[in-house]
């Protein structure tokens, strides 16, 4: 699955994925064939229809204060945020957190970015968008990018057209105003060979991050566009976490991320449904192994990993498979949610790309699972559809002894005597 055009799925990973020998992003976490890890930064293809505002109440009323060349601006506190988090009361049952995140977060014409912004708005939910810096750099200026261990301007994901960059700017602006988080997916998405991010030093990661931030903070200068509104946030303060290409290279990334004041990393090559811990000073928020209906092994909680097990790396498998695969993918996400909600209440992390693989069935599955989870919330369940930033805000106000008790629960383990007993003495 190479040579993908910018009008289709932008971004490729390469690496080994266990038993079925697929090219994938990272190592698998399942115990059966094809449990591989995530790869590929597909980008949406959506209309460019929304205006400069969010369309939701609570848009910033603070006068915009331009930052730098005016590509970004300080507009005050981010609107459409949940209530400030508080520590759990003694014996209180923890909420069920669910985080949907998107790698790449670029727009190339299929309406997927807008589709999921609308879905989130309909259910008063939030997500994290890991923006690739190159998606705001015109291809005519690609030699401004100096990737570590690669030629100037090189990238394993395609550059966007100017029209698609403009659409991406509008959607990223809208996402932030709607209350979503803008993280980073870095730049060139190098996953193979000597230039792979797996081989980068901490200093090289710092260069990559500095460049990713500069492409966001200086898009106006780089593109020469003066008639578009600024992104309404200070990216230096907004950026507190990311996910590396192909889930590679995080050991050398983390020291740099800590120096920069980041609070979490979502690049672990696979985890399980347990309460997270910190690694090298940052919250470790990995993709997770979740049940895979019809199989005895589990699958990583990302669209590509489900595809890898269903169609062995093909994004255009015979269409007669699609209905069953769509159902299986939807039920896998729902099974992951239910296992956590009914037992240890571990947060559930789901990663995706704006893509149309196998007829768009994985986007349908994400929407189906999202809607199911949101309806549980709307029926009264203490379920919170949040961004990674909002989730770590909650973690950071909890008592250490409460977190220790939560972290001690295994996958699918419910407190034997109930939450009131399990957290009662510790919280007190």
Grade residue 269 by pLDDT with cuts at 50, 70 and 90.
confident
* The two three-digit tokens of residue 40, written as one number: 């590929």
Distance CA 274, CA 288 (A): 9
- Express as a percent the part of the chain with pLDDT over 70: 85
pLDDT at 57: 55
Model pTM score: 0.89
- The fold of 16-48+96-381 is TIM Barrel (3.20.20)
Q: What is the mean pLDDT of residues 379-404?
A: 98
pLDDT at 277: 98
Determine whether 48 is exposed, middle or buried from the number of CB atoms within 10 Å of its CB (0-12, 13-18, 19+).
middle
Residue 179 Cα distances to 22, 77, 182, angstroms: 37, 10, 10
Distance CA 36, CA 304 (A): 9
Q: Evaluate if residue 427 carries a pLDDT over 50.
A: no
Is 289 strand, coil or helix? Answer: strand
Task: State the DSSP string of 61-89.
Answer: -SPPEEETTTTEEE-SSPSS-PPPP-PPP
pLDDT at 37: 40
Nearest Cα residue to 85 out of 375, 389, 377, 379:
389
Grade residue 61 by pLDDT with cuts at 50, 70 and 90.
low
Distance CA 348, CA 273 (A): 7
Distance CA 118, CA 367 (A): 11
Q: What is the mean pLDDT of residues 132-145?
A: 98
Q: What is the mean pLDDT of residues 265-288?
A: 96
Could you state, in order of their start, the residue ranges of all structural domains in the chain?
A: 16-48+96-381
Residue 21 Cα distances to 18, 36, 271, angstroms: 6, 9, 21
pLDDT higher at 109 or 358: 358
CB of 350 closer than 8 Å to CB of 286: no
Round the average pLDDT of the chain to a whole number and report it. 88
Grade residue 183 by pLDDT with cuts at 50, 70 and 90.
very high
* The two three-digit tokens of residue 357, written as one number: 């693989």
When computed from its CA atoms, the radius of gyration of the chain, rounded to whole angstroms, is 20
Q: What is the mean pLDDT of residues 317-338?
A: 98
Q: What is the mean pLDDT of residues 155-181?
A: 97
Q: Evaluate if residue 351 carries a pLDDT over 70.
A: yes
pLDDT digits (tens, 9 = 90+) for 35-46: 444 434 443 333
Determine the angle formed by the axes of helices 112-122 and 162-177, rounding to 10 degrees: 10
pLDDT digits (tens, 9 = 90+) for 212-251: 999 999 999 999 999 999 999 999 999 999 999 999 999 9
């Amino acid at each position: 699955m190479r040579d993908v055009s910018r009008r289709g799925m932008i971004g490729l990973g390469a690496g080994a994925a266990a038993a079925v020998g697929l090219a994938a992003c990272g190592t698998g976490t399942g115990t059966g064939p094809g449990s591989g890890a995530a790869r590929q930064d597909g980008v949406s293809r959506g209309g460019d229809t929304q205006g400069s505002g969010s369309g939701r109440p609570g848009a910033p009323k603070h006068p915009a204060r331009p930052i730098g060349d005016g590509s970004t601006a300080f507009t005050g506190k981010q609107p459409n945020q949940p209530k400030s988090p508080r520590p759990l009361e003694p014996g209180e049952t923890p909420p069920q957190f669910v985080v949907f995140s998107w790698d790449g977060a670029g727009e190339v014409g299929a309406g997927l970015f807008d589709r999921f912004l609308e879905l989130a708005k309909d259910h008063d939910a939030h997500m994290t968008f890991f923006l690739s810096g190159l998606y705001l750099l015109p291809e005519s200026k690609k030699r401004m990018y100096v990737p570590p261990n690669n030629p100037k301007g090189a990238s394993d994901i395609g550059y966007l057209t100017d029209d698609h960059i403009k659409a991406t700017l509008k959607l990223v602006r809208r996402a932030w105003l709607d209350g979503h988080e803008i993280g980073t997916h870095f730049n060139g998405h190098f996953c193979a060979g000597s230039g792979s991010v797996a081989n980068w030093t901490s200093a090289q990661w710092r260069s990559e991050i500095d460049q990713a931030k500069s492409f966001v903070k200086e898009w106006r200068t780089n593109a020469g566009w003066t008639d578009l509104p600024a992104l309404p946030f200070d990216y230096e303060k907004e950026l507190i976490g990311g996910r590396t290409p192909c889930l590679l290279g995080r050991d050398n990334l983390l020291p740099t991320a800590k120096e920069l004041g980041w609070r979490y990393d979502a690049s672990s090559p696979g985890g399980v449904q347990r309460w997270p811990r910190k690694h090298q000073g940052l919250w470790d928020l990995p993709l997770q192994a979740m049940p895979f209906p019809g199989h005895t092994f589990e699958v990583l909680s990302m669209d590509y990993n489900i595809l890898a097990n269903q169609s062995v790396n093909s994004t255009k498998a015979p269409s007669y498979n699609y209905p069953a695969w769509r159902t299986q993918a939807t039920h896998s996400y729902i099974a992951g949610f239910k296992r956590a909600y009914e037992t240890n209440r571990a947060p559930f992390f789901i990663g995706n790309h704006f893509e149309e693989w196998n007829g768009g069935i994985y986007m349908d599955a994400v929407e189906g699972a999202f809607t199911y989870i949101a309806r549980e919330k709307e029926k009264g369940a203490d379920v919170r559809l949040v961004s990674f930033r909002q989730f770590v805000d909650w973690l950071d106000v909890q008592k250490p002894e409460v977190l220790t008790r939560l972290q001690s629960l295994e996958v699918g383990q419910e407190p034997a005597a109930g939450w009131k007993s399990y957290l009662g003495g510790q919280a007190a």
